[in-house]
Chain A
Amino acid sequence: MTSRRLLAHKPGQRKITGVLMVVFFIILSGVVLVPFVSMILTSFKDSSMIIRNGFNLNIDKDILTFENYRYLFSGDHQYFKWFINSIFLTLIQTALTLIISAWVGYGFAFYDFKGKDFLFVCVLVVMMIPFEILMLPLYREIVAMKLNNSYLGIILPYLAHPTAVFFFRQYLTSIPKEIIDAGRIDGCCEYGIFLRLIFPIMQPALAAMAIFVGMFTWNNYLWPLLVLTDSGKFTLPIGLTSLLSPYGNNYKLLIAGAVMSVIPIMILFFSAQRHFIEGMSTGSVKG
């Protein structure tokens, strides 16, 4: 009886809570958008006023100007070089990290060997220790290897990304082992089985990790900041930070460049939203 009464009550009640929740989330989305909106608005204002005025949502038609963007597209600076560097580094690092991590993850998922458990615990330990703790000795190592100021120096320590290894291993354990035996019978070598049979069916996992690693690389700040010294090799985050140098802040380029750096990812996000959300939440597929 009670349950039926509850059910009978529900539709009306549910509608009200539904409407309230939608209103709540509209307000929340508005708050989330405020920083973006203020940044975009400010990029159309006089950049010399930024320090004094900060970012706000005031719109005064008389003071809106395209000057910052005019400078971004025609000024004498390295912004677009940084942009291309960032794209280049992101593509290379993502591709290499995915291939190597999948290779390692496959070893963990499909074979039993001595020391496997110990090695896998090592993967988990690397996942747990913040990279920042190791940055100084790592930096010295990279300098000693003469890899400072090179993209190889940025990429190398991340090649077997522990999160990616962990994720690929989890993904691959769900694939039946018979596939290997089938491959062996067909005369595939051990590595051929991975390259020809397994790698192609890993596509969904690779796509998810591509987003994860790609976003990580595109936004990575501290390590490139240490490794790169030549402003011609800067990535976007490092380049934008360098504009805040003590030798006169270049807010004109900074504000327009900041907006420009967000736009390509926004476009990517809205065109492949599902993949993005899947990719970023893959880390949570644990155990």
Chain B
Amino acid sequence: MKERTLALTTQVKHEEHHQKKSLWDKLNSPKVAPYVFVLPFVLIFIIFFIYPIFSTVVMSFQSVNIGDIQFVGLDNYRILLSSSTFPVAIRNSLIYTALTLLLLIPFPMILACMLNSKAMRGSNFFRAFLFLPILCSVVVAGLTFRFLFNETDTGLVNSIIINWFGGEKVRWLSLRWPAMTVMVALACWRWTGINVIYFMSGLNSIPVELYEACDIDGANAWQRFWFVTVPLLKPTIIYVLTISIYGGLAMFAESQMLWGGKTSPLNIGLTIVGFIYQNGISHGQLGLASCAGLVLLVVVLIINLIQLRLTGVLGKEKA
């Protein structure tokens, strides 16, 4: 519909090009002006969103080598399903996303409540401290964590394990779960502060009267948190959930930096986007990479739909 209207508009523009005054009058009318305002978005949407998605679908049925494109039907999908690395990539991405959700929603929420409570002193100061990691680019953060979790016994984390707890050094970046721990730790370091800030701005929109009512009813801190704070923070929780799922499934740079741009041993750090990058850019297998891209697209859509359904946003919009 709107494309047709737009096409008409541009047609009109072309037809009347020789009558300058009337063109300007048309452009300046409140009927046409909104289309001129949204035009940049429409152009970018079509050129840099619709077309790439379309061409991903097309490429997923092709074998694309330099200067040689062949239609291969479902071959890419067959290769993808039988490949040993793709399931690993999916598993890593899903576990990483689940763990970040588990850690990066409840704890920032509790921290925000603490910072927001009347008994707290200097909350602006601490909020700024928690915010600092987000200023650090993923490249620098990944590099730092790589060496904090160094596998020798002098890396900070290993030296703490050895000297304080009398444990043995851990080969953080060579084993599956230790590697996942490092990736999740990096995510927590980077994102806790920003999530705390989201929750604090959500908390500010809760009317104080509700808490006063709680006090009069003699509710304890836990009851106050569970029956007032959590339900009223729902919009913020949904927002943080959405961006965390997005960030979790799209994770790539972190693992790239942790293993210094090399492949991780046994692909313990390989994510879906890592798989797309490896196959599409490094190995030049665009068809296979496009398949993986489409799988990720479907996963993202399904998770978003489930999450919107569960949190009731979708139902509300329909009503």
Contacts and interface: CB of A to CB of B under 8 A. Distances in A.
Interface string A136-170: 11111100000000000000110110000100000
Interface in B143-172: 143-145, 147-152, 154-156, 158-159
Pick the 3 closest A-B CB pairs, nearest first.
A54-B150, A107-B37, A115-B2
A283 B156 CA distance: 35
B257 to A, nearest CB: 7
11 contacts: A14-B119, A29-B126, A32-B189, A36-B136, A56-B154, A56-B156, A122-B41, A130-B273, A137-B56, A190-B36, A281-B201
A221 B289 contact: no
B243 A283 contact: yes
Contact of A269 (B135, B156, B235, B289): B135
B44 A160 contact: yes
A261 B202 contact: no
The B interface is mostly helix, strand or loop, or mixed, namely helix
A191 B120 contact: no
Contacts of A92: none
Interface string B14-39: 00000000000000111101111110
Contacts of B30: 111, 190
A221 B273 CA distance: 13
A29 B189 CA distance: 11
A57 to B, nearest CB: 6
Given A3-B218, A261-B140, A122 B194 contact: no
Q: How large is the interface on A (under 10, 10 to 19, 20 to 34, 35 or more residues)?
A: 35 or more
Nearest to B254: A221
Interface of B: 1-2, 5, 28-31, 33-38, 40-42, 44-45, 47-49, 51-53, 55-56, 59, 111, 114-115, 117-122, 126-141, 143-145, 147-152, 154-156, 158-159, 189, 192-194, 197-198, 200-202, 215-216, 218, 235-236, 239-240, 242-243, 246, 249-250, 252-253, 256-257, 260-261, 273, 276-277, 280-281, 286, 289-290, 293-294, 296-297, 300, 304
A284 B138 CA distance: 22
Contacts of A237: 137-139
A141 B189 contact: no
A54 B40 contact: no
A106 interface: yes
Interface stretch (A18-26, A68-76, A199-207): A18-26
A104 B45 CA distance: 12
Given A6-B218, A53-B150, A273-B128, A119 B38 contact: yes
Interface string A118-130: 1100110010111
